[in-house]
Amino acid sequence: GIGLTPPRGWRSWNAFDCMETRTILTQSHMMAQMDAVLDKSRLVNGQPTSLAELGFNWISMDDGWQRCNCSVRQDLDPSLPKCDGNLCFGGHCSWHDSQGQPVVRKDRFPDMKKLVSYGHARQLKVGTYLNNCICNEHGLPHYANDVKWMVNEMGFDGVKIDNCGSSTNVSYWAELLNATGKAIRIENCHNSWPDFKT
């Protein structure tokens, strides 16, 4: 499997937590990190070497790529209804459309497929992030739609599954991801394994 050794690479959260304007994650930031791990300005044993050549070949996004349907603490939008904790936990906030499809923030990620292809063209693995915390979605889960979007439509290689929303059944995520036929790395962020409640 692809998870036999610890993952090496870069994930956006510690640099881009979306708490202020300068730390909002964008497609440009992700592409810059892809270029950075390929940079050969460092020497290893006297030879110009990239981080990717040393095995740091994963570039993964965290929260902030999705479009919330309400204004939340880390995604303030005065044109949308403000979401307090009661509304969020009541299933009001979502980053899916009325058909349950993930909605990308096009102002931050104008072409998600192009981003993934950019990484793949450079022999990098590209990861995404689901069960997002910023939108804090507590309505019906959208497991199948998220997997289809992530693997079949966008072509991601891995996913961090957080525990902020209602899609916390990592066993079910694994079942659906395995059914795609593509080897996908799962990063389980604070979910139980297996989760028999959902």
What local confidence, expressed as pLDDT, does residue 13 receive?
Answer: 92
Of 99 and 88, the structure prediction assigns the larger pLDDT to 99
Q: Is the dihedral of CA 87, 89, 90, 96 positive or negative?
A: positive
Helical packing angle, 112-121 and 27-38, nearest 10°: 0
The mean pLDDT value for 92-108 works out to: 91
Range scoring the smallest mean pLDDT among 7-21, 82-96, 97-111, 134-148? 82-96
The per-residue pLDDT for 193 is: 53
Average pLDDT over the chain reads 89
Residue with the bigger pLDDT between 73 and 108: it is 108
3-state secondary structure at position 44: strand
Q: Give the pLDDT band of residue 85 (cuts 50, 70, 90).
A: low
**pTM for this structure?**
0.90
> With contact defined as beta carbons under 8 Å apart, do 108 and 27 qualify?
yes
pLDDT category, 45, cuts 50, 70, 90?
very high
Q: How confident is the model at residue 88 (pLDDT cuts 50, 70, 90)?
A: low
| 146-181 pLDDT tens trace | 999 999 999 999 999 998 888 989 999 999 999 999
pLDDT above 90 covers what percent of the chain?
A: 62
All residues at 6 or more sequence positions from 74 whose CB lies less than 8 Å from its CB, including other chains: 17, 18, 19, 63, 64, 134
